[in-house]
Structure 1
Amino acid sequence: MTAARMTAMLGATAALAALAAPAHAAPAASAAPPTVEEQRLDQAVPQEILRRSGFAGVAPSFTRALERAGSHRAAENVVARHGERLWRRAVDRAQGRVPAGDLDRADDRPLYWARLGMTRAIRRWNPSFVLSDKARARLLVRLERASRGQEDVAYPHRVRRILVTGFDPFTLDRDIRIGNPSGATALALDGTVVRTSRGPARIETMTFPVRWRDFTDGMVERALRPHLPRVDLFTTVSQGRPDRFDVERFNGAWRGGFPDNERASSTGLIPVRGAQPQWTVTTLPHRAMVGAGTGPFQVIDNTQVTEIPAGGTTEVVRPDGPTPGSAARAGAGGNYLSNEIAYRATLLRDRLGLTRLPGGHLHTPVLRFGDGNTDPGTGTVTDPQFERNRRAIVTQARDLITAAASATARSAR
C-alpha cells in the first residue's frame, strides 16, 4: 500500500469517526469525595441502626433512581421526591403510622444515617450528562432541605401555629451511637395538634445539621423567613445539659469553635449580613414555662452569659445577663450551634419587625444510655433506659411548648 493511499484511508476513517461522534460529547463527570460524616456511615453502629429500623434500603433505592435520571431536571425531581419521602417516612415511623423495625419508633438516628447514605450517593454519582460542581452542590442543598422538613411546613386555617426546630446527633467521634432528643422531638411533633388554653395549635417542625458551614451559608434564615410572619410561636430546640431543660434568655453573637460533625471549627463573630447586635433576647413566656409543672425534669430560666465588658479585655461570667455595651462570648445556651440557631432565629424575628412574636430557644436534657451501657466500645445501640429517657424528654418538650402557647396571646398576623 502506498503512503498516499494510507493517508487517504486514515483521513476517511477520521472523517467517519467525527460524523459518528455526538456534536457536543459530555465529558465524564468526576465524583466528589465523601465528607467526614459520610465516612462514618460504613461503621457497624450506623449499619445496625439502618438495618434494625427498616431504613437500610433508603440509599440503594435512591441511588437506582438517580442513575436513571437522564438530565439535571430529572435529577432534581428525583432528589426532591426521595428527600421528601425520607422525611415523611421518618415522621410516620416516629408517630406509629409505619412499621418501626425492632428499634424504638421514637429513635431519630435512622433519619440521620439514611440521609447521609443519600448525600454520599449524590457525591459518588457519575451521570451521563455534564454535571458541574455547582450543580452537584445544588442537588445536595435540595436534598438537605427536603429531607429535613424545611419544604414541608403547612398549616390549616383557624388554628394557632407553632414552629419547632431540632438538630442532628453530634459528638459522634466520642460515641457513634448518640442520638439527639431535639431531633426526636421534631419527628414526634411534626403535624400534630396540641390543646392549649387558647384553643388548638398545630405544630410544624424541621431539623438542621450540626455543621458550621450550613449556618454560614444562611440555611437558618432561608428556612425560617417564609414562616415566622405566619406563626404564633416558635422555638428552636437542642440538646443541652444533664437532667434539666433550659429556657435560654439571651443569645450571643459569638462562635466558640467547638468542632462540628465534619470536625470543622469556627471561632469569631457569627457571620450575618447587616448590622449585628451582640445579644438577642427570648420572647418566649419563660416564667410560665418554668412554672407549668411539666416534670419530671427541672426547668430553668437560664440568664447566665459570658461577656467582655465595655472597655475591657477579659471574659466575665454574668449570672444575670449581659451588661450594656459588652461583647458576647457565650449566650445562655453557650457558643455552639445551639446558641447560633437561637441568635439567628431571634435576630430574624427582630429584623422582620415581629416584636410581639414569642420565640426563643429551649435546651433539652442530655439523652443518656442506661447504666451498664455507657461504654461506646462495648455497649449496644439502644437499651430500655435510653428509650425511656428519650420518651420522657420528648413528652416534656411537647408539654413545655404547649404551656408556652397557652401563655401567649395570638400574634398579629
Structure 2
Amino acid sequence: MALPRPSLRRSLAGAAAVAVVASGATAVSLGGAVADEPVTPAAPCLRTDAVLTVEESRLGEPLLPGGEPAARRFVEAAGFDGLVQRFYDRLCGATSLAAAERVVRFHGQRLWDVAVARAQGGNGLGTIDRYDDRPLYWARTTMSAAVRSLDADYLESGLQRQALLRILDRTSRGHESIAWPAGDAERVMISGFDTYSLDASLRNSNPSGATALQLDGRTLDTPEGPVTVQAVVLPVNYTDFDQGVVEDAFGQVLRTGEDRADLIMTISQTGRGRMDIEQWAANARGGSPDNNRNQQFGPVSRPSYWPQPYTSPNWIETTLPYQAMIDAGTGPWPVVLNDGICEWPAGTFDDTTGAPDLPDPTELVCKDDPSPGSAAASGPGGSYLSNESMYRSNRLRLGMRAWDVPGGHLHISALQYPTDLDLLTDPAFEADRKAVVDQTIALVAAAGAAVDER
C-alpha cells in the first residue's frame, strides 16, 4: 500500500530538521527548532533522528538568516522539485528491498539524465540558467538524506542502506551511462566536481561540474574531425575517493578493447583568471577539508580492486597535448602549463623514532620540478582532491597499461558572485560562468582533436 504523499517543501527542510553530524556526533538544528525539540517527520517513511552526513545537514540552511533553505531554492529554480517529489513518493511506497533498489536506481539515473538534458537545452525546465551546476548537487543531496533517513522493516542491515546510497550516488553522477556512440570520433572522457567550500557560502558553483553537464554525450566538431565526450561529476569527499569513485569512473574507459578512450582529462576549479594544465600530479594529500569537513594528510590510498602500479609513483607527469591546447587561442583567460611542486628531497625523512617514512617538516622544499627520489608533498595544483583526481586516474591508466592514452588535469578559473548575498544568480554571474565553461569546452575539443596527430 502506498503511503501518504509527503510535501517536497516539508521534505527538504524536515529530512534534515534534526540530525546528528556524522563526523562529530553532535546534534544540530536545521529547521529553526532546537536540537531537543520534537520534530514532525517530513514523510511517514523517514526518521527524524537519522545520522546524516555534514553535506546532508546543510539542507535546511538559508543563504541569510531567516531565509528559505538554499537547497530548496536551487531545486525549485531548476524545476527538479517534481522529480525529487516523485522519488519521495515511490521510496515511501516501496514494500521490499528489491523495490527500493529499483526506485533508487531509476531516480538516480533519471536525475542525471534530466540534469544533462537541462544543461544542454533539451527540456526547458526551470527558470535558473541552464549552465548552473548547483541544482544537481542539492537535488542529489536531498535524495541521499531521504535514503539515509528511510525507516523500513526490509532494511535489516546498515550495509543494505549503504548499498542503496552507493547506487543513488553513482547513477546520479553519470557513472552508469558511460557509452560511446558509433563512429570514428576521437573519444574523450572527462570529470568535473561538485560545488565545495559550502561552509563559506551555500551558493558556490563549480564550473568544472557545469562543464561536465554541458559535455556529457556530446560530439564536438573540430577542423581535425569529431570529438565525442563522456563525463561524470566527482564528489568533493575523501571517503568516496578512498572507495574508488575516480577509478570506477575512468576504469570503464581504460580497459583494452573497443570501449577504450583516446584521452582522459580531470577538470576542477582554481584561482580567478587562470586556466592551468597541471604538469605534475603528486602522491600526496594535505589540502583543505572536504564537503564533510574531513581533512587528510599523507599519500593517496590505493583501491583494492583496480590494477595499479606495484609501487605508487610519487609523481605522474601529464601526457595531455598541452601545446595544442595552449596554441588553440581560447579565451578569455590565459592557458599555461603549470609547474611548481613541493617535496621532501631524498634522504630527508625522519626515521629516528623507529617509525620509518615520517617526513621532516623542516626539510620541505618547493621548486619547479621534482628531484630524483623525492617524496611528494604537493603538485602544481596543490594536494587537494583536484590533484588527487589527476593522480588516481593516471595511476590507474598506468596500471591498466593504457600507455597510449594521454591523460592529465585542467584547472579552470574561479567565478565572481553577485554582491547581494541572498541572490542565487544574476546576469553578470551567469555570463562569467558561461565564459569559463565555454573556454573549457574549447580546450577539451582542442585536446581531443590533437590526439589524432600523435
So what's the TM-score if we normalise by structure 2? Answer: 0.80
Alignment check: 8 A CA contact 2:268 2:411 kept: yes
Question: CA separation in 1, counterparts of 2:70 and 2:334?
Answer: 32
Question: CA separation in 1, counterparts of 2:294 and 2:155?
Answer: 30
Matched position secondary structure for 2:58: helix
State yes or no: 1:392 paired with 2:401.
no
Question: CA separation in 2, counterparts of 1:92 and 1:221?
Answer: 26
Match of 1:59 among 78, 84, 95: 84
Matched position secondary structure for 1:269: coil
Matched position secondary structure for 1:333: coil
The aligned residue for residue 25 of structure 1 is none
State the Cα distance separating 1:244 from its structure 2 match.
Answer: 0.8
State the Cα distance separating 1:128 from its structure 2 match.
Answer: 3.2
Question: CA separation in 2, counterparts of 1:225 and 1:302?
Answer: 26
The aligned residue for residue 292 of structure 2 is 262
Matched position secondary structure for 2:405: coil
The aligned residue for residue 146 of structure 2 is 121
The aligned residue for residue 72 of structure 1 is 97
Moved more, 285-294 or 48-57: 48-57
- Find the structure with the greater CA-based Rg: 1
Q: What is the letter of the counterpart of residue 358 of structure 1?
A: P
Matched position secondary structure for 2:175: coil
Question: CA separation in 2, counterparts of 1:92 and 1:156?
Answer: 17
Matched position secondary structure for 2:440: helix
The aligned residue for residue 381 of structure 2 is 333
Task: Describe the superposition over 1:229-280 as per-residue Cα deviations: whole angstroms up to 9, x where unpaired.
Answer: 3111110100112101100110001100411001111111111155211011
State yes or no: 1:317 paired with 2:366.
yes
The aligned residue for residue 331 of structure 2 is 295
Alignment check: 8 A CA contact 1:29 1:130 kept: no
State yes or no: 1:216 paired with 2:242.
yes
Alignment check: 8 A CA contact 2:54 2:293 kept: yes
User: Gaps (5+ residues) in structure 2?
Assistant: 1-44, 62-68, 304-309, 349-359
Question: CA separation in 2, counterparts of 1:323 and 1:237?
Answer: 26
Question: CA separation in 1, counterparts of 2:103 and 2:431?
Answer: 37
State yes or no: 1:201 paired with 2:227.
yes
Q: What is the letter of the counterpart of residue 409 of structure 1?
A: D
Question: CA separation in 2, counterparts of 1:226 and 1:135?
Answer: 25
Match of 1:347 among 395, 398, 401: 395
State yes or no: 1:184 paired with 2:210.
yes
State the Cα distance separating 1:32 from its structure 2 match.
Answer: 3.9
The within-5 A match list for 1:12-411 is 32-43=50-61, 44-158=69-183, 159-229=185-255, 230-272=260-302, 274-312=310-348, 313=360, 314-319=363-368, 321-370=369-418, 372-373=419-420, 378-409=421-452
Q: What is the letter of the counterpart of residue 406 of structure 1?
A: A
Matched position secondary structure for 2:292: coil
Q: What is the letter of the counterpart of residue 231 of structure 1?
A: A
Q: What is the letter of the counterpart of residue 444 of structure 2?
A: I
Task: Describe the superposition over 1:271-299 as per-residue Cα deviations: whole angstroms up to 9, x where unpaired.
Answer: 11552110111110111111210111111
Question: CA separation in 2, counterparts of 1:80 and 1:50?
Answer: 20
Q: What is the letter of the counterpart of residue 412 of structure 2?
A: T
Q: What is the letter of the counterpart of residue 317 of structure 1?
A: C
Q: 1:130 to 1:401 in 2, by over 3 A?
A: closer
Alignment check: 8 A CA contact 2:287 2:382 kept: no
Alignment check: 8 A CA contact 2:217 2:231 kept: yes
Matched position secondary structure for 1:225: helix
Question: CA separation in 2, counterparts of 1:203 and 1:185?
Answer: 11
Question: CA separation in 2, counterparts of 1:29 and 1:156?
Answer: 41
Moved more, 270-279 or 169-178: 270-279
Question: CA separation in 2, counterparts of 1:100 and 1:73?
Answer: 31
Moved more, 284-293 or 136-145: 284-293
Matched position secondary structure for 1:354: coil
Matched position secondary structure for 1:73: helix
Question: CA separation in 2, counterparts of 1:340 and 1:85?
Answer: 29
Q: What is the letter of the counterpart of residue 335 of structure 1?
A: S
The aligned residue for residue 357 of structure 2 is none
Alignment check: 8 A CA contact 1:29 1:129 kept: no
State the Cα distance separating 1:228 from its structure 2 match.
Answer: 2.0
Alignment check: 8 A CA contact 1:162 1:203 kept: yes
Question: CA separation in 2, counterparts of 1:33 and 1:125?
Answer: 11
Alignment check: 8 A CA contact 2:79 2:125 kept: yes
